[in-house]
């Protein structure tokens, strides 16, 4: 059964164009593949993203705002990314390609161990398909513990939920090759995820009432400022 697009976006029937757009943006941010990197639930998030895109497309089509409507879900997705200042439109695909070509370059210029290279490629594809056991076996066979090795080992740990070791390994990869885009990106992402949760949580706590002391202090400040400018806020002092 097809889901109600309004329900998917969590808005009321007859919501305005802006409301739909806002809800869509928030959800697209929530289920963005960046957030579900190295997460065993990435496929579920992807599915959710597809649902949201479909719902958004359907509502846009029906809203009559035809000139703003984009017919492909990928486009609307990209659009939301661009507005967030992110460059990762068709994220996973690009990312994959980039990282593959990068590691190929590395192998030619720096490392002579072709056996290690094969294992590295294999480990990569096992990690992508979620087969951590086989990926680990490949890594264990590699002789050269280079930056790529630490990076992949880090990814395996992250997938398993061993974040402490995952972080240490990825940091090591980054320290060994600070110019590598992939390692830097992964390290930044880890820090961002933790900080992001905190921020999101603190945001909810900022609505706490100021205490009496605070209110008095503010009033006194306001009064002083007014007096400086020649007026008066509180007559008695």
Residues contributing to the site for other proteins (CB under 8 A) = 30-31, 35-36, 39-41, 44-45, 47-48, 157, 161-165, 167, 190-191, 193-198, 200-202, 204-205, 207-208
Q: Which residues contact 53 (CB under 8 A, 6 or more apart)?
A: 28, 73, 74, 76, 77
Q: How far is the CB of 43 from other proteins (least distance, A)?
A: 9
36 vs 183 by CB, closer to other proteins: 36
Q: How far is the CB of 144 from other proteins (least distance, A)?
A: 24
Cα distances (angstroms) measured from residue 95 to each of 88, 89, 146, 197, 222: 8, 10, 21, 24, 53
Q: How far is the CB of 167 from other proteins (least distance, A)?
A: 6
**Distance between CA 55 and CA 47 in Å, rounded?**
12
> What is the DSSP secondary-structure string of 116-184?
HHHHHHHHHHHHHHT-HHHHHHHHHH-S---HHHHHHHHHHHHHHT-HHHHHHHHHHHHHH-TT-HHHH
Q: How far is the CB of 142 from other proteins (least distance, A)?
A: 21
Q: How far is the CB of 219 from other proteins (least distance, A)?
A: 24
91 vs 113 by CB, closer to other proteins: 91
**Distance between CA 167 and CA 151 in Å, rounded?**
9
123 vs 190 by CB, closer to other proteins: 190
165 vs 184 by CB, closer to other proteins: 165
147 vs 190 by CB, closer to other proteins: 190
Classify residue 92 by burial, with Cβ atoms within 10 Å: 0-12, 13-18, 19+: middle
Q: How far is the CB of 38 from other proteins (least distance, A)?
A: 10
Are 56 and 20 within 8 A, CB to CB? yes
123 vs 156 by CB, closer to other proteins: 156
């Amino acid at each position: 059964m097809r889901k109600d697009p309004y329900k998917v976006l969590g808005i009321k029937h007859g919501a305005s164009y802006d409301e739909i757009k806002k809800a869509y943006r928030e959800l697209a941010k929530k289920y963005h593949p960046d957030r579900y990197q190295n997460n065993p639930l990435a496929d579920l998030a992807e599915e959710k993203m597809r649902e949201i895109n479909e719902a958004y497309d359907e509502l846009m089509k029906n809203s009559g705002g035809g000139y703003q409507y984009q017919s492909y879900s990928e486009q609307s997705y990209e659009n939301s990314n661009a507005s967030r200042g992110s460059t990762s439109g068709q994220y996973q695909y690009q990312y994959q390609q980039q990282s593959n070509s990068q590691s190929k370059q590395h192998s030619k210029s720096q490392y002579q161990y072709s056996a290690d290279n094969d294992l590295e490629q294999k480990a990569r594809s096992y990690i992508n398909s979620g087969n951590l056991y086989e990926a680990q076996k490949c890594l264990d066979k590699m002789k050269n513990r280079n930056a790529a090795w630490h990076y992949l080992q880090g990814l395996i740990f992250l997938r398993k939920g061993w974040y402490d070791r995952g972080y240490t390994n990825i940091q090591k990869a980054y320290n060994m090759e600070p110019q590598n885009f992939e390692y830097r990106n992964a390290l930044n992402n880890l820090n961002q995820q933790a900080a992001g949760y905190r921020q999101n949580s603190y945001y909810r706590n900022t609505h706490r009432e100021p205490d009496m002391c605070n209110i008095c202090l503010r009033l006194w400040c306001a009064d002083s400022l007014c007096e400086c400018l020649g007026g008066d806020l509180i007559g008695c002092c």
